[in-house]
Amino acid sequence: MPAGAGVATSGYPSLDEVRGSPGYPSRERMAKGAVAVIECVQEIPCNPCEAACPRGAVKVGQPITNLPALDGEKCIGCGLCLARCPGLAIFLLDMTYSDTEAALSFPHEYLPLPEPGATVTAVDRAGQPVCRAKVLKVANPARNDRTPVITIAIPKEFAESVRGIARKSGGGDVGR
Amino acid sequence: MRVTHHPILGEQSPARTVEITVDGRKVTAREGETIAAALLAAGIRVNRITRKQGTPRGLFCAIGQCTDCVMVVNGVPNVRTCVTPVADGMTVETQKGGGPAPLKSGGSR
Amino acid sequence: MKTYDVVVIGAGPAGLAASIEAARRGCGVLLVDSNLKPGGQLIKQIHKFFGSREHRAGTRGIDIARDLYREALDAGVTVWLDTSVYGIFAGNVLAYARGLLEMKPSGGAVKADRVVLATGASENAVNFPGWTLPGVMGAGAAQTMINVERVLPGKRVLMIGSGNVGLIVSYQLMQAGADVVALVEGLPRVGGYGVHSAKISRAGVPILTAHTVSRAFGDTAVEGAEIVRVDPSWKPVAGTEQRLDIDTICIATGLRPYAKLAMLAGCRMVHSPILGGWVPFHDRSLQTSVPGIFVAGDAGGVEEASTAMEEGRLAGVSAAASLGKVSAAEARAQREEVEARLASLRMGPFGKPRHDAKEALHKAGECA
């Protein structure tokens, strides 16, 4: 399936789809620092993201099938919405992490979890390897309700393509 | 294979074990689990052999509806192993066709 | 014979919710379920649910099952597990067998002033050469094994079907440590939510639309599969066959209402492809064509667990109201509240067809 075919045919949203959705922050907002990136492009009945935001930066409203809209001015990049989205469709992007790197946070509900400082393979929306990434943080506080959130550093040029890290085959979590 | 670690369900809690005999072979099972689960964990995938064509069948619905996984348990045929829990000392046999004729007592299945 | 105000059959999301609402309105409620554990299919739903706060959105299904069961017990519901209702007779006499799973069978009958059928659904199968081999199973079966029994059905899985069940179970198989080698979908489009398909795409699972399984290989169990591209009329395209190295095939080709008791009771059945096939006709209060028998959840049309819970609440309110436990005005207000929440779950491109199918179902009853 060609990249960019769209979520309904390829299974993952194209860059055009996510950029065209109201939950995707503008380039200008991204340049200012950490911001939520909501990749929710279908009208499904769901709104926990709205309640998750302490600043009122995410709006679904009525009807509940509205696409979540991000107010980039209100979003402070706290990342509280990441683990609250049942679709695991929210990311946190910080283009100001360093001169050359962006920091990307995403939910990762697989074992084993990487260690902070480890070098891992960053993958795109299709699960294809994009680049190496350094694990900055692995957070799984109680409020995440068992949804770990990983933060990695990646070259800025890949900030809009990388959306996770390679899942280890077999996970290493299968015992006898 | 057992799923001992899990990102959501956590570490599998310790359980008492029971021993069942499957076609003459001793299999250790976790108390409370179903016969089908114990068999899969032991790598056993065939539960029965069909009457006419002699082909193997295994777990299919896992909620007691389809009856593909039935076996002879303690001499009783047609026991749905996917919903029936193990018990210590239980004998489980691959069911061939309809299995043995139901026993006079305990033949309620 | 003991008589209960309300007997609810099936302790899944719909049955638990119906029991809670009826008991809270002063009904004597008996809730029966053929399984040893309450919760129905919620006990294997380890993902966070969609919807709004009122629908328990963001909460994992396993936790909702635990909470609902506690609420039911707190509300005074009598619960009989390992109890199968196998007969339903005039005057709502229900014949049951208990202790089948514990291999200590006994039986009896109870009488119910009101019955709520919340018996759920069963998985559709799909036939292809080799489909009877051990290792070919329903996606729900695999989900039960990994999330309830914590046993992997296999290491390398081919998933058939891209509805939410196929997508979610693929994800959960990987969480349990299996690899999902591919997901095939005969239609040219992914059936389920894009957020679910995006999750497994990110994990590297190829989602092959316009593809189907053509055969499974193996002598005593699955050892491989062949998939093939299909044209718009589902005809295999010669030369596009691929052999996959897999040991398990999961079938997620939809669910159908499990409503045998409704048929036994003589409820008028209506065919609705969108709702999964033959469903008992029911009016807006969820009462079937047989007075006193209500239906809720997937048994009355396959939807989702959140919808099933709301329908359960509606059936519980309706049953209590029909027994005079709440006034007509109160019942109407309470029903409208639930109906509004139901309506919100039946919106958008995924929900609207189910909304329309339910409306058509209600209309079918009005004409009859």
B80-104 pLDDT tens trace: 999 999 999 999 999 999 888 755 5
The amino acid sitting at C105 is P
Q: Report pLDDT for A95.
A: 98
Q: What is the pLDDT of residue C247?
A: 98
State how far the Cα of C146 lies from the Cα of C123, in Å rounded to an integer.
17
Option in C58, C197, C209 nearest A12 (CB): C197
Distance CA C288, CA B48 (A): 40
Contacts of B101 (CB under 8 A, 6+ apart): none
- Show the 3-state SS of chain B: CECCCCCCCCCCCCCCEEEEEECCEEEEEECCCEHHHHHHHCCCCCCEECCCCCCEECCCCCCCCCCCCEEEECCEEEEECCCCECCCCCEEECEECCCCCCCCCCCCC
In this prediction, residue C341 carries a pLDDT of 95
Q: Which of C309, C239, C368 is nearest to C52 (CA)?
A: C309
pLDDT beyond 80 at A169: no
Residue A149 has pLDDT above 50, yes or no: yes
Chains contacting C with at least 3 CB pairs below 8 Å?
Answer: A, B
CB contact under 8 A, C145 and B45: no
Residue C366: predicted pLDDT: 63
**Do the Cβ atoms of A44 and C49 come closer than 8 Å?**
no
Calpha distance C283→C358 (Å, rounded): 9
Residue B79, pLDDT above cutoff 50 = yes
Query: What percent of chain C is helix, strand and coil (3-state, nearest 5)?
Result: 35, 25, 35
pTM: 0.96
Average pLDDT over all residues of chain C: 96
Judge: C177–A171 Cβ closer than 8 Å, yes or no.
yes
- pLDDT above 70 for A161: yes
C32, C87, C259 from C266: Cα distances, Å: 21, 12, 11
Give me the pLDDT at residue B100, please: 86
pLDDT at A172 over 90: no
Closest chain B CA to residue C177: B3
Tokens in use for C266? 């003589």
Using an 8 Å Cβ cutoff, are C211 and C227 in contact? Answer: yes
Between B58 and C364, residue with greater pLDDT: B58
Residue reference for tokens 């899969």: B40
Residue B101 CB coordination number (10 Å): 8
Q: Chain-centre distance of CA C277, in angstroms?
A: 13
To the nearest whole Å, the CA of B1 is away from the closest chain A CA by: 5
What value does the mean pLDDT take over residues A31-59? 97
pLDDT of residue A4: 53
The residue written with tokens 């933060």 in the block is A151
Interface contact C194, partner A, CB < 8 A: yes
Residue contact B45–C221, C-beta within 8 A: yes
As a whole number of Å, the end-to-end CA separation of chain A is: 38
Mean pLDDT along residues B24-41: 98
Does A175 sit within 8 Å of B2, measured CB to CB? yes
> Is residue A17's pLDDT more than 50?
yes
CA C56 to chain centre: 17
| A142 in contact with chain B, both atoms CB, cutoff 8 A | no
Residues C47, C51, C54, C59, Cα dihedral to 10°: 10
- Across the interface, whether the CB atoms of C151 and B6 are under 8 A apart is answered no
Identify the H or E element spanning A130.
Answer: strand A129-139
For residue B108, pLDDT beyond 60 = no
- Nearest one of C161, C162, C147 to C47, comparing CA atoms: C147
* Element housing C341 (H / E): helix C328-345
Q: Are B6 and A148 in contact (CB < 8 Å)?
A: no
Residue type, C231: D
CA–CA gap between residue A20 and residue A39 (Å, rounded): 10
pLDDT of residue C363: 86
Q: Packing angle between helix C164-175 and helix C194-202, nearest 10 degrees?
A: 30
> Are B7 and A111 within 8 A, CB to CB?
yes
Instruction: Give the tens place of pLDDT for each residue, C118-175.
Output: 999 999 999 999 999 999 999 999 999 999 999 999 999 999 999 999 999 999 999 9
Strand order across the C156-160 sheet: C136-138, C248-251, C156-160, C179-185, C207-209
Dist. CA B36–CA C47, nearest whole Å:
24
- CA distances for C71 relative to A120, C316, C361, angstroms: 45, 14, 31
A90 within 8 A of A68, measured Cβ to Cβ: no
Residues of chain C with pLDDT under 50: 368
**Residue in chain C lying closest to A46 (CA):** C51
Q: Which of C274, C283, C279, C272 is nearest to C258 (CA)?
A: C279
Locate A114 and state its tokens.
């990487």
Per-residue DSSP letter, A114: P
Query: CA dist C137 to A122, B55, C142, C226, Å?
Result: 33, 16, 7, 16
On the question of pLDDT at A175 being above 50, the answer is: no
pLDDT at B101: 72
Angle between helices C328-345 and C305-322 (to 10 degrees): 170
pLDDT of the residue at A5: 83
φ/ψ (deg, to 5) at C19: -60, -45
* DSSP-derived 3-state class of residue A151: strand
- Chain B residue with the nearest C-alpha to that of C218: B56
Chain A within 8 Å of C187 (Cβ-Cβ)?
A: no
Among B2, B8, B10, select the one facing A109 at the smallest CB separation.
B8
The contacts of residue B57 (CB under 8 Å, 6+ apart) are B46, B47, B48, B49, B50, B68, B69, C132, C134
Give residues with Cβ within 8 angstroms of A38, minimum separation 6.
A21, A23, A24, A49, A58, A68, A70, A81, A85, A89, A90
Q: Please give the DSSP secondary-structure letter assigned to residue C164.
A: H
How far does chain C reach from its first CA to its final CA, in angstroms?
35
